[in-house]
Amino acid sequence: MKKTVTWVLIADGAQARVLENTGPGKGLKQVEGLDWSMETLQARDLVTDRPGTRGGGGSPNRGGTVPRTDPVEYRETEFVKSVAAELDRHQQRGDFDRLVIAAAPVALGDLRKAISPAVQKTILAELNKDLTNIPTAQLDQHLDGILAA
């Protein structure tokens, strides 16, 4: 009988990792190569000092342009999209059967939008929690018996 492989994605907008459980009592282990992080930056680190101006034909009321999206939010959304794409590639290869997602609220919302329908079908549970700074050995208590299901 084939074992059921459950992956647990722990994520926020700047870091993510995938852990694997292969059955009751087996615990969680890091999936090699599936941990990501990006340097946390503030908006001031991502945009220029002064906003540009719109061509106003010499109008004295020309103002600076303001970005339509927050550059930090945009960067985090793109990060989450790349994690979702990687999960999709692994799901297509059959690397896991079930998926549990524990993510910070904003990242969870972004993940829901970015995850493919095929990966969505494998989702066993979602936790609206940021567990990125919890050591692997302590994650079992946060997953409240979900893996046993």
CA distance 143 to 146: 6
Comparison of pLDDT for 70 and 47, the residue scoring more: 70
Mean pLDDT of all residues in the chain? 84
- φ/ψ (deg, to 5) at 50: -120, 140
pLDDT, tens digit, 9 for 90 and up, residues 15-59 = 999 999 998 888 899 999 999 998 765 545 545 555 555 555 555
- How far is residue 69 CA from its own chain's centroid? 19
What is the value of pTM for the model shown?
Answer: 0.79
Structural domains in the chain, sorted by start: 6-37+69-148 (3.30.420.60)
Question: In the prediction, which pLDDT does 147 show?
Answer: 81
